[in-house]
């Protein structure tokens, strides 16, 4: 078991132990539904006694109990749906649609489209394709591409990495910032990938890996800010060696990889994580994040509208 897995298991055990304490207190002499005599550390998410001023796990300073975790009746608020599952569903649904539309293309082999959707179908469904961005102003492609995948192996590895990195982002940053990081890193990876098309590098890309490298960059900054050297060093190794390996695969023509999307997403994730700690985000906080998220969602929704409003053309040849 490596260090990151050990850390994740520690968080899970701490959460489990805290929930057990909460259930015991709810069913004991304090009465059902009353607030437990504990509080959560904002850094490591560990549960501590309510009178503690310093976390017993990571030595971080503890503030007052967050009132927003309980409703007017003193009962815990329901937890939001885990965004990792939503991303998984969107990627799976878009891949299934790409396979379906590829099967409708004339003279397309059945065994081929079950493994890999046709490239022209992916372009019609929102792949990051430079000619359409430049000629038709379809900038929404720099977000819609992230939920498409080139073949079953591609989506399998990306979803596997999402299952590992996604919960860490969710635990460290919460739901709103999870989506802000997802869309901003996708946009950063898509932008750099599209720009590479001008010099003959890239110009066409699909996949969630740009956002995944953004997750790694954001976790690295989060770990550095919270003085967790183990996680920071692990993420640093993944950033460095991950890019080296993928670039080597591309140079040797062993496997095509959109390395610019990886780099763009990684730097966007690192920059965004640093901004979360800036004075600007401390002053504006949720309104600024909500504005960024709303803009990205509107751009993505407009792209989906453009794609599916002309659904009959998805199986048609692409003319540049």
CATH number of the CATH domain containing 234 = 1.20.1540.10
Give the residue from 20, 38, 69 where a domain finishes. Answer: 69
Give the residue from 45, 69, 93 where a domain finishes. Answer: 69
The answer to pTM > 0.85 is no
In this structure, the answer to whether residues 57 and 103 fall within a common structural domain is no
In this structure, the answer to whether residues 204 and 282 fall within a common structural domain is yes
Output DSSP code: residue 256: -
pLDDT above 80: residue 294:
yes
Average pLDDT of 231-236? 94
Share of the chain above pLDDT 70, in %: 72
For residue 240, tell me if it sits in a domain: yes
In this structure, the answer to whether residues 64 and 87 fall within a common structural domain is no
Which domain does 11 fall in, by range?
Answer: 3-69
152-196 and 209-225 helices, crossing angle to 10°: 80
pLDDT above 60: residue 36:
no
Q: Which two tokens stand for residue 196?
A: 């590479």
Where helices occur in the chain by DSSP H, the ranges are 3-27, 83-103, 110-115, 119-124, 130-136, 141-144, 152-196, 209-225, 229-251, 259-276, 279-284, 286-309
In this structure, the answer to whether residues 25 and 117 fall within a common structural domain is no
For residue 290, tell me if it sits in a domain: yes
Where helices occur in 104-226 by DSSP H, the ranges are 110-115, 119-124, 130-136, 141-144, 152-196, 209-225
For residue 214, tell me if it sits in a domain: yes
Q: How far is CA 30 from CA 47, 51, 73, in A?
A: 18, 17, 15
For residue 225, tell me if it sits in a domain: yes
pLDDT score for 68: 44
The residues facing 49 across adjacent strands are: 38
Output DSSP code: residue 317: P
- Report the C-alpha dihedral over residues 81, 87, 92, 95, rounded to 10 degrees: 150
Q: Which residues contact 280 (CB under 8 A, 6 or more apart)?
A: 288
Under a CB-based contact definition with an 8 Å cutoff, are residues 185 and 142 in contact? no
In this structure, the answer to whether residues 16 and 142 fall within a common structural domain is no
What would the pLDDT profile of 79-122 be if each residue is shown by its tens digit?
A: 566 899 999 999 999 999 999 888 887 666 666 666 788 888 99
pLDDT score for 270: 97
In this structure, the answer to whether residues 38 and 159 fall within a common structural domain is no
Among 43-47, 156-160, 312-316, the least confident range? 43-47
Give the residue from 26, 44, 69 where a domain finishes. Answer: 69
C-alpha to C-alpha distance for 159 and 151, rounded to whole angstroms: 12
In this structure, the answer to whether residues 123 and 187 fall within a common structural domain is yes
In this structure, the answer to whether residues 65 and 87 fall within a common structural domain is no
- 253 — phi, psi (to 5°)? 60, 25
In this structure, the answer to whether residues 143 and 277 fall within a common structural domain is yes
C-alpha to C-alpha distance for 213 and 64, rounded to whole angstroms: 34
In this structure, the answer to whether residues 255 and 295 fall within a common structural domain is yes
The count of domains in the chain is 2
- Report the C-alpha dihedral over residues 248, 126, 163, 17, rounded to 10 degrees: 140
In this structure, the answer to whether residues 34 and 88 fall within a common structural domain is no
Q: Which two tokens stand for residue 146?
A: 């992230």
Average pLDDT of 28-37? 45
C-alpha to C-alpha distance for 261 and 114, rounded to whole angstroms: 26
For residue 319, tell me if it sits in a domain: no
For residue 18, tell me if it sits in a domain: yes
pLDDT score for 285: 79
For residue 30, tell me if it sits in a domain: yes
For residue 292, tell me if it sits in a domain: yes
Name the more confident of 63 and 140. 140
Which residue, among 210, 199, 206, has the nearest Cα to 259 in the 3D structure? 210
C-alpha to C-alpha distance for 206 and 183, rounded to whole angstroms: 14
In this structure, the answer to whether residues 141 and 287 fall within a common structural domain is yes
| Length of the chain measured in residues | 320
C-alpha to C-alpha distance for 82 and 178, rounded to whole angstroms: 10
83-101 burial, b at 16+ Cβ within 10 Å, e below that, comes to: bbeebbeebeebbebbbeb
C-alpha to C-alpha distance for 195 and 133, rounded to whole angstroms: 10
């Amino acid at each position: 078991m490596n260090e990151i897995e050990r850390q994740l298991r520690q968080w899970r055990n701490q959460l489990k132990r805290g929930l057990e304490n909460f259930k015991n207190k709810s069913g004991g002499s304090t009465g059902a539904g009353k607030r437990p005599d504990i509080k959560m550390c904002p850094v490591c998410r560990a549960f501590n006694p309510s009178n503690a001023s310093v976390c017993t796990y990571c030595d971080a300073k503890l503030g007052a109990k967050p009132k927003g975790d309980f409703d007017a009746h003193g009962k815990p608020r329901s937890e939001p749906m885990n965004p990792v599952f939503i991303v998984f569903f969107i990627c799976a649904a878009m891949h299934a649609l790409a396979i379906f539309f590829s099967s409708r293309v004339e003279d397309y082999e059945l065994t081929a489209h079950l493994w890999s959707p046709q490239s022209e179908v992916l372009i019609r469904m929102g792949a990051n394709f430079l000619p359409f961005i430049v000629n038709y102003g379809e900038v929404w492609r720099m977000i819609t591409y992230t939920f498409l995948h080139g073949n079953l192996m591609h989506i399998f590895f990306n979803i596997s990495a999402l299952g590992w990195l996604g919960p860490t982002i969710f635990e460290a940053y919460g739901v709103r910032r999870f989506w802000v990081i997802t869309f901003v890193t996708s946009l950063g990876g898509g932008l750099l990938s599209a720009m590479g098309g001008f010099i003959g590098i890239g110009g066409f890309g699909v996949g969630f890996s740009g956002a995944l490298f953004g997750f790694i960059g954001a976790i690295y900054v989060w770990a550095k800010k919270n003085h967790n050297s183990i996680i920071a060093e692990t993420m640093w190794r993944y950033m460095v060696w991950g890019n080296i390996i993928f670039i080597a695969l591309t140079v040797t023509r062993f496997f095509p990889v959109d390395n610019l999307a990886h780099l763009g997403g990684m730097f966007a994730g690192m920059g965004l994580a640093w901004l979360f700690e800036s004075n600007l985000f401390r002053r504006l906080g949720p309104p600024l994040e909500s504005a960024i998220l709303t803009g990205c969602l509107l751009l993505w929704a407009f792209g989906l509208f453009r794609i599916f409003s002309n659904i009959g053309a998805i199986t048609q040849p692409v003319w540049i």
